[in-house]
Chain A
């Protein structure tokens, strides 16, 4: 057994500023290799579209929102973001193995229960998913990748996300810290 596997690294995290630089480099590489930016909500959207299309194909055709992602010559899951997210899972899994964090748990503030955390996270996730579709992208797809190519929309999205986070943090911070 190697030294690293023995020592407990499960509470050691990467310096967030260094992590930010790494993320930036990943973004440049992504543009270079795929010709597209990063994203996350797009993969969820593709999954939702595919599910609707297979469960209720007629509804999917009629729906203005869903139908725009359906075409005969390309399956909605055949999207770079879907593969990127598969890679994110694989990478996160590797990182979990390497740092001994590979066990199921719910991370939450000691003041709230796991159940509450999960419910609130679900509501938050739904709101964010909805918002990201109105804004045509989430933090990664619109803000990060948008700002990287100096898109005005990217800056507005970033300010929208972080500005509203500041505004609402006073009300909701008890759910987190």
Chain B
């Protein structure tokens, strides 16, 4: 009988050598979180600027998608949990040094806030709508009066949510691809860009589309800059970080990253938006779908690729 005996201190299933604990639900959750943050951010900004009349879709209609996106996203997060019945324990503590704690609490506040925001505009969608109870009508009046205040809170929470979707990954100091400080801003910008794309796609107003298209263009340029910055930063790092960057520069994720994220998800829609601003007629759905798809692929790649990068080889 031929027998082989392996003795290793590194036999940790699903953690070493490769992390294998985050599945398809996580990138979808990060994507929907970023998208929701983006839409709420713009709704808040244009409310504070007093542009509710010019930017109706941004302020009133697009936020209707947000509670749904957040709830589906949270459901995804819940599905991925190993001990699902213990999720409530996140709310028994506040840990400022833990991104997960930040995320849990920010979602605890932003989800109801987005519902209240949508509720204040419900009567504009359904004029027949009635809240049935007197105290609900009163609360609505109160919320409508304080929209600007809500907008400030919403912007703050949206920025935290957007950054959190990135630092949830970057807090993993054992995964060189994730462990860089640009990931938070990068995910925020990407979330804002997908949010802008949704608004651009939904709106029927020429003014609003042009405004969001311009904003989106700037965001795409910033995002490209951040990605360049991230890769250059890794290449200037230690050999494990260089190995992480190599996943995108000839390694396993090169084609999917460059084709679907950079070219089709950022550069091509940017070219289309420039052409549109130059006066050419372009069906707005095309750049919007490309940006949304690129953002989704980006999160899938980052979650997948990050899990296979490591310090010990």
Contacts and interface: CB of A to CB of B under 8 A. Distances in A.
Contact of B278 (A2, A78, A90, A94): A2
A78 B279 contact: no
B207 to A, nearest CB: 16
B279 A94 contact: no
Contact of A97 (B255, B259, B264, B275): B275
Contacts, number: 32
Interface of A: 1-2, 5-6, 78, 83, 86, 90, 93-94, 97-98, 100, 102
Contacts of B266: none
Interface string B277-296: 01111110010000000000
B280 A98 contact: yes
B281 A102 contact: yes
Contacts of B283: 102
Given A98-B280, A102-B282, 6 more contacts: A1-B279, A2-B278, A83-B255, A94-B275, A97-B280, A98-B275
**Majority secondary structure of chain B interface residues (helix, strand, loop or mixed):** helix
A143 to B, nearest CB: 27
B273 to A, nearest CB: 11
Interface of A is mostly: helix
Contacts of B275: 94, 97-98
Nearest to A90: B268
A5 B279 contact: yes
B243 interface: no
Given A83-B255, A94-B271, A97-B272, A5 B280 contact: yes
B279 A97 contact: no
Given A78-B255, A83-B259, A93 B281 contact: no
20 contacts: A1-B279, A5-B278, A5-B279, A5-B280, A78-B255, A83-B255, A83-B259, A90-B264, A90-B268, A93-B286, A94-B271, A94-B272, A97-B275, A97-B280, A97-B281, A98-B275, A98-B280, A100-B281, A102-B282, A102-B283
